Amino acid sequence: MTESISNLWSIALLVTIPIFATIIVNLLFNRNRAIKYISLISALSLVVITILSPYGFQWFTGQPALNPNTLTFTFDASIPAWRMALEFYFGPLQQVLIFVMALILVLVIGIATNGLTKNQGPYIGMIFLLFMSAAIIIMVNDLYHLWIAVEIGSLVVVGVVAASGEGIGQKAALKYALFSALSGAGLAIALALILGLTGYSNISDAIRYIQTTNLAGMSSILYVAFGFFILSWIYAGGLVPIHPLKSEVYGAAFPHGTAMLQAQSKLMLVAIGLVMLRLFGSLPFAREVMLSISVLTMMLGVVMALLQTDLRWILAYLIVSHSGLVTVGISLGTYDALVGGLFQAVNDVLYMSVLLLGCEAVYYFGKGTSTKTAVGIAKKAPWLALAMVLGTFAASGIPPFNGFQSKIILIQSALKVGLPEVAVVILILSVTTFIALFRGIYSIFLKPAETTPLAVSGSVPSEAQEDDKETPIPRGLYLSLAILVVITLILGVYPDLVIRFLTPVAQAVSIPWYP
Amino acid sequence: MIQVTIQLLAFFAAAVLVIIGIAGMLFLDNLIKKIIAFTLLSDGVNLLLVAVGYVEGGIVSILLPGMSTSEFASRAVLVFPVGIVLTNIVIGVSTTAILVALAIVLYRRYGTLKASKVLKGERR
Amino acid sequence: MIELSASFMVVAYVMVIGITIGAVAALLQKDLLRAAFISGAECIALAFFFQALLAPDIGLTQAIVGTVLLPGIIILGIFKTRRTEEE
């Protein structure tokens, strides 16, 4: 597809349709049927727009002048207009990532409109805003909108987590809100520093200025800006110093909300990581700092996951540790590693959604998701157990599934740049993921239900055992699981379906690694 | 000898506000105090942005009648940071509102505003 | 023009001192209500500083938001919870 020079229709629609959907479902508040149809139609239209859209730009100020020689006024009267300003770009990477996000949005809305009964409008609205912030942040090419999208995204994450209504959710929401206030202000400071240093907020222009101008004495400012970027990167993905906080956020939200949250977090990680790689990738020690944070995240997250006894919390820590895989690819920064990291982001969103929606289904049996209380569900729901096991295979990188393809690319690229330690850590992560997940899934699904309490308490009427509110799983949940499992299988067999979308970005951004 | 300009003073004040704000958010124990510290931090960021856009000996960025565009372009203070600051003020207010709402909810649940008690992790 | 910028320098010096004292005083106050009011006063100083930095529109916005809206939200929170800092 060709790139057009005028503004693209689809970018504006990708941002405004979620906003209008949010406003409408907020006004409908509790009219559940209307909310269901309107939100499903909006989400499906987002999927269709993402597939049909050509590639191109959206300029907010300083649109391309009619005559290239005329110069319009913005900051500096000598700058040509068209690389000037606030710019969104919709390209192959954006297409595939937004498509995956929109797919998850459709499935999550289908589930949330069935499951929730109270205050449905605002909750669905917040899920739409999550999609919008992620879509903006993956499309921006200027620091101003990057910062705005991070701020909107953080406020919406706080809302989704607090909506779970438990004490631990509200605690996690307040902690996350405080930290996001800090890191949002840090990102604004970084924006101010780069704006003051280069005079541009457009990232491409700022990079060109930094590379072509001698920043004598001022290059320390770049390090300060890099530090604040690292802060917001850590916050966006829950990387190592705050991994307990982000996993509390994941664990405390509803599981379908977590599916949306983790997709948004992966997109934010990719977007901020690519910006950091482009702006600061040539600074000494920058990529080493990013790489060490990623490796520590993988190790610590998976160790914490081994200690949990609740499927929800196992998944929460695993999501954080698998974010480390995405960031390893981005911080290595070579062509292969970037392809692997971006592909891992797509795969991660898909297989973690399988596991999270399966975890949501476990709730319908009325005994929670703790490995101690919920046992023997495989007999009641064999297809659910099959989907969970297949999701586990995908997450731990077992060959016919998609997790294998991206992990093998990452391992090979780590070996190629001469860092076998990183490859070993990725292998350990795969094996430990399998152990942690299978331990939880075995005791929830396969372990036989204990019948001893019935036999002992003979005086208690048998209805007392059946008082748990067990409800049939809606068909939509099974359908979503089936769709996601099929997609993971297809991507595992034909990885080129996605990889050909990722190669242009990897070629444009990659920097050779020299230790 | 560095000549003290108004821009330098603004950078100094912004640094003071940012440092006080970050230290307050990290080390103060009261939730409302943390929120006040966040407003200070947000003010510091605003001041930094406006100071970045300042032009020494400039004019206010309003195109008055009878002023030529090139003269305006060479002398006016930068407009873009002003837009960013307006956004930041709005974001600061909404973040403060959310933080206060969560603090009220948690006060009802736990009966205290001490962050060391409210935000303590639960054993799972 | 010269005398205008000189007077702006005086404003700036006073306001830097005002901002610093206000920020520290707001955080050292035990009474949360008083802390909210002091942070509002600090925002007045900041608004004057914006005026001196040739950004009068931001000064106006900051004066309204910083002295009415933000302390209003915080005072609402204080009334719904408690006024003094507990030990």
Q: What is the pLDDT of residues A324-348, one digit of tens each?
A: 999 999 999 899 999 999 999 999 9
* CB within 8 Å of chain B, chain C residues 7-66: 8-9, 12-13, 15-16, 19-20, 23-24, 26-27, 32, 35-36, 39, 42-43, 46, 49-50, 52-58, 61-62, 65-66
β-pairing, A3-7 vs A55-59, is parallel
A404-421: average pLDDT: 92
A155:B95 CB<8 A: yes
B19 vs A475, more confident? B19
B10:C53 CB<8 A: yes
Q: Which helix (H) or strand (E) holds A15?
A: helix A9-28
Tokens 């409008």 appear where? A121
Residue of C58, C77, C82 lying closest to B86 (CB–CB):
C58
Of the ranges A164-173, A379-388, A454-463, B113-122, which one carries the lowest mean pLDDT score?
Answer: A454-463
B81-91: average pLDDT: 91
Q: Which residues from chain C sit within 8 angstroms of residue B55, using beta carbons?
A: 54
Q: Is C75 within a domain?
A: yes
Q: Is C85 within a domain?
A: no
Cβ–Cβ contacts within 10 Å for residue A76, how many? Answer: 13
Shortest alpha-carbon distance between residue A78 and chain B (Å): 10
How would you label A91-112 residue by residue, b for 16+ Cβ within 10 Å and e otherwise?
bbbbbbbbbbbbbbbbbbbbbb
Q: Is B1 within a domain?
A: no
Do the two chains C and B touch, given a threshold of 8 Å on CB pairs and at least 3 pairs? yes
State how many domains chain C has: 1
Q: Is C19 within a domain?
A: yes
Q: Does B106 touch chain C (CB under 8 A)?
A: no
Q: Which residue from A465, B47, A437, B120 is spatially nearest to C12, judged by alpha carbons?
A: B47
Beta strand spans in B2-81 (E): none
User: What single-letter amino acid sits at A265?
Assistant: S
B39:C66 CB<8 A: yes
In the predicted structure, residue A322 carries a pLDDT above the cut 60: yes
Q: Does B46 touch chain C (CB under 8 A)?
A: yes
- What are the DSSP calls for A460-485, one per residue? S-GGGGG-S---PPPHHHHHHHHHHH
Q: Which residues from chain B sit within 8 angstroms of residue A168, using beta carbons?
A: 122
Shortest alpha-carbon distance between residue B46 and chain C (Å): 9
**With the C-alpha atoms ordered A391, A394, A395, A396, is the resulting torsion angle positive or negative?**
positive
Q: What is the pLDDT of residues A14-34, one digit of tens each?
A: 999 999 999 999 998 778 889
A262-269: average pLDDT: 94
Confidence of residue A466 (pLDDT cuts 50, 70, 90): very low
B80-97: average pLDDT: 92
**With the C-alpha atoms ordered A214, A216, A221, A227, is the resulting torsion angle positive or negative?**
positive
Q: Which residue from A201, A283, A39, A488 is spatially nearest to B82, judged by alpha carbons?
A: A201
Helix (H, G, I), strand (E, B) or coil at A460: coil
Of the ranges A261-265, A316-320, C50-54, which one carries the lowest mean pLDDT score?
Answer: C50-54
Q: How many CA atoms lie within 13 A of A2 on its CB side?
A: 3
Residue of A174, A196, A313 lying closest to B52 (CB–CB):
A196
Say how far apart CA A145 and CA A315 lie, in whole Å: 31
Q: Is the separation of the CB atoms in A320 and A246 below 8 Å?
A: yes
Q: In which domain, by residue range, is B88 found?
A: 6-118
**pLDDT confidence of residue A80:** 45
Say how far apart CA A490 and CA A357 lie, in whole Å: 19
Shortest alpha-carbon distance between residue C70 and chain B (Å): 6
Percent of chain A scored above 70 by pLDDT? Answer: 89
Q: Is B99 within a domain?
A: yes
Q: Which residue from B110, B122, B119 is spatially nearest to B28, judged by alpha carbons?
A: B119
Percent of chain B scored above 70 by pLDDT? Answer: 96
**Mean pLDDT rounded to a whole number for chain A:** 85
Q: Which residue from A346, A327, A244, A305 is spatially nearest to A434, judged by alpha carbons?
A: A305
Each as own residue / partner, the long-range contacts of residues B78-82 (CB below 8 Å, 24 or more positions apart, any chain) are B78/A75, B78/B52, B78/B53, B78/B54, B79/B53, B80/A74, B80/A75, B80/A144, B80/A195, B80/A201, B80/B53, B81/A192, B81/A195, B81/B49, B81/B50, B81/B52, B81/B53, B82/B50, B82/B53, B82/C55, B82/C57, B82/C58
Confidence of residue A2 (pLDDT cuts 50, 70, 90): very low
Q: Does C67 touch chain B (CB under 8 A)?
A: no
In the predicted structure, residue B70 carries a pLDDT above the cut 80: no
The CATH number of the domain where B44 resides is what? 1.10.287.3510
**pLDDT confidence of residue C64:** 92
Q: What is the pLDDT of residues A33-68, one digit of tens each?
A: 899 999 999 999 999 999 999 888 787 765 544 334
Confidence of residue A411 (pLDDT cuts 50, 70, 90): very high
| Nearest chain B residue (CA) to A175 | B119
Q: In which domain, by residue range, is C47 found?
A: 2-80
A292-300: average pLDDT: 93
Q: Residue ranges of the alpha helices (H) in A396-474?
A: 402-416, 420-441, 452-456
Instruction: Show which subunits contact A, needing at least 3 CB pairs below 8 angstroms.
Output: B
Say how far apart CA A422 and CA A293 lie, in whole Å: 12
- pTM, whole model, 2 decimals? 0.90
**pLDDT confidence of residue A476:** 83
B33:C85 CB<8 A: yes
Residue of B13, B104, B113 lying closest to C19 (CB–CB):
B13
A77:B74 CB<8 A: yes
Q: Which residues from chain A sit within 8 angstroms of residue B70, using beta carbons?
A: 77
Q: Is the separation of the CB atoms in A409 and A340 below 8 Å?
A: yes
**With the C-alpha atoms ordered A509, A13, A267, A157, is the resulting torsion angle positive or negative?**
positive
**pLDDT confidence of residue A109:** 92
Q: Pick from B84, B107, B109, B123 the residue to mutate for testing the A interface (most A CBs within 10 Å).
A: B84
Instruction: Show which subunits contact B, needing at least 3 CB pairs below 8 angstroms.
Output: A, C
In the predicted structure, residue A313 carries a pLDDT above the cut 80: yes
Say how far apart CA B108 and CA A55 lie, in whole Å: 51
A70 vs C53, more confident? C53
Do the two chains C and A touch, given a threshold of 8 Å on CB pairs and at least 3 pairs? no
Q: Which residues from chain B sit within 8 angstroms of residue C9, using beta carbons?
A: 6, 9
A178-191: average pLDDT: 93
Confidence of residue A85 (pLDDT cuts 50, 70, 90): low
Shortest alpha-carbon distance between residue B81 and chain A (Å): 8
B4 vs B103, more confident? B103
In the predicted structure, residue A398 carries a pLDDT above the cut 60: yes
Residue of B6, B55, B100 lying closest to C77 (CB–CB):
B100
Shortest alpha-carbon distance between residue B11 and chain C (Å): 10
In the predicted structure, residue A74 carries a pLDDT above the cut 70: no
Q: What is the pLDDT of residues A185-197, one digit of tens each?
A: 999 999 999 988 8
In the predicted structure, residue C3 carries a pLDDT above the cut 80: no
Confidence of residue B122 (pLDDT cuts 50, 70, 90): low
**pLDDT confidence of residue A71:** 37
**pLDDT confidence of residue A3:** 45
Say how far apart CA A394 and CA A441 lie, in whole Å: 14
Say how far apart CA A126 and CA A108 lie, in whole Å: 12
Q: Residue ranges of the alpha helices (H) in A140-202?
A: 143-162, 167-198
Residue of A167, A177, A313 lying closest to B109 (CB–CB):
A167
Q: How many CA atoms lie within 13 A of A299 on its CB side?
A: 12
Confidence of residue A485 (pLDDT cuts 50, 70, 90): very high
State how many domains chain B has: 1
A3 vs C12, more confident? C12
Q: Does A224 touch chain B (CB under 8 A)?
A: no
Shortest alpha-carbon distance between residue B47 and chain A (Å): 10
Question: In the structure encoding, which two tokens stand for residue A178, read together?
Answer: 């405080």
Say how far apart CA A320 and CA A263 lie, in whole Å: 12
